[in-house]
Amino acid sequence: MAPNMLTKAEALHYITSSLRLALNPAEQDVPSLSKLHKICQAFIAEVPYSTLAIINTPMKQRRVPTLEEIKQQGLTKQGGMCYEMNVFLHWLLLAMGYEVHLLMARSFSVDYTHPLNTVRLDGKYYMVDCGPFPCMTEHLICLDFAGDESPVILQSIWEVQLRRRLIDGVPGFAGYFRWTPNSSFPLGRHHTLPLDKDGWALFFEYAFVFRSLEQIQQMSVAIQSSYQDVTVSPVLNRIFCCRYPKGRLQLVRNTTLWQENEPRIRSIKDTKSKAELVETLVEQFGDVLDRGLIEGAVEYYVTVAKLPEDFVLH
């Protein structure tokens, strides 16, 4: 089994300094559901889901990051994609004394490309996924629900429900979502997802089978496809307060900045040049992302996407 890459001292320093969480002595030593919520919510507030590092890497050099690279990206709050985000969170929770296991899900596809976590606490399992959407962190979903369908749970910008299902012949879960009226998130390709009669769309499914980190690394051929997608575009988001209408969103997708502040005033800023897109990214995420990384990613994206002058792209 791969060793945990974070010590307890490193994890505590990261939580109190980088995630800005004040933990009393009892919280530091005893795993609890309330502390688990705090850590997950702070993580998605401070660490951006980001495609910029991979965009800034020449296509022939793109690969799944090493464990040491994941650790450094996590400690410096550079963020990353699902693999980096959830593996680092796995180490963080392990170091804080939680019983945490890795799972693999397939999302919008037939390939298992999305690692996520489940935490066992007081005899119950909770789903923990700090990937690109804040869909499992505002209210951690307990997997030990009665019957075949979980309660409908409001997760920031959408409602979520888990349904028990056989996945490749093994008991597991399918995750469904539907948009709520207070969504300020661009729908993107979700417009095309098939909906059932109640408006639910399937967005992932996974067998409830624990995976070692070595096993997930062995599945890197499928994960690698996410890193070698020539069409990947700049995506960055942080959720400062999970629940809208009292929440706040900070998101860059393609060439557009979406924001929503505490009073739920939403703004959309379309950038119209490389320079403006770079400055927008630096302004919003320059506290954790290097300007050179941002400039390189924007240059690559604008060239590959063949954006027109005065571009506006949703």
The pLDDT value recorded for residue 189 is 46
pLDDT in tens, 276-298: 999 988 988 888 888 998 899 88
pLDDT in tens, 62-72: 888 889 999 99
pLDDT in tens, 200-238: 988 889 999 999 998 888 876 667 777 766 666 566 666
pLDDT in tens, 113-145: 889 999 999 999 999 988 755 455 667 889 999
Which of 77-81, 154-158, 302-306 is most confident?
77-81
pTM: 0.87
CA atoms within 13 A on the CB side of 50: 29
Give the closest residue to 274 by CA, choosing from 295, 292, 293, 257.
295
The pLDDT value recorded for residue 233 is 58
* Strand order from edge to edge, sheet including 99-106: 141-142, 124-128, 112-121, 99-106, 201-207, 170-179, 158-167, 153-155
Q: Average per-residue pLDDT in the chain?
A: 82
Which of 13-17, 150-154, 262-266 is most confident?
13-17
Mean pLDDT, range 26-38, rounded to an integer = 90
Please tell me the CATH code under which domain 8-305 is placed. Answer: 3.30.2140.20
pLDDT higher for 309 or 88? 88
